[in-house]
Amino acid sequence: MSTTVTPAKPRRALPPLMALTDAAAERLGRLYNGGKAGMKLRISVSTKGCSGMSYVMDWVDAPAAGDEVVTDKGVTVLVDRKATLFLIGTTMDYEVKTLSSGFTFINPNEKGRCGCGESFHV
């Protein structure tokens, strides 16, 4: 009797949890070397806003249990474990506009945003 063994399909590589643009890495690097020295930016997602979810950024002294540590372009950010499924493949940017500046997220998992841009849904 002969047995045929079918090789397992190769798994598709997952996209990185999160990436930083050059502008985001530069801004975070300046913050880490300045007033936020010794701290890390922690990114999470909360249920709020008119579309259901919102990005939350907090400065922390140390990672929480289970936080994912993401290092890109020499800069480290922490991601709440509960937010990872919503953030896979996200790019964090830093934008400077005429009247405002801040971190923004380009998230391929988003299906829509509210009119004010403060919340999203997947």
93 to 25, 62, 64, 70: CA distances (angstroms): 8, 23, 24, 15
Each residue of 10-45: pLDDT tens digit? 776 666 889 999 999 999 999 999 989 999 999 998
Q: Is 90 exposed, middle or buried (0-12, 13-18, 19+ CB in 10 A)?
A: buried
Tokens of 70: 């993401």
Domain definitions of the chain by residue range = 18-109
On the CB side of 41, CA atoms within 13 Å amount to 22
Q: Are 80 and 17 in contact (CB under 8 A)?
A: no
- From 2.102.10.10, 2.130.10.30, 2.60.300.12, 1.10.150.20, which CATH number describes the 18-109 domain? 2.60.300.12
Question: Could you tell me the mean pLDDT of each successive run of 10 residues in the chain, 122 residues long?
Answer: 69 79 96 92 82 84 93 95 89 92 84 57 56
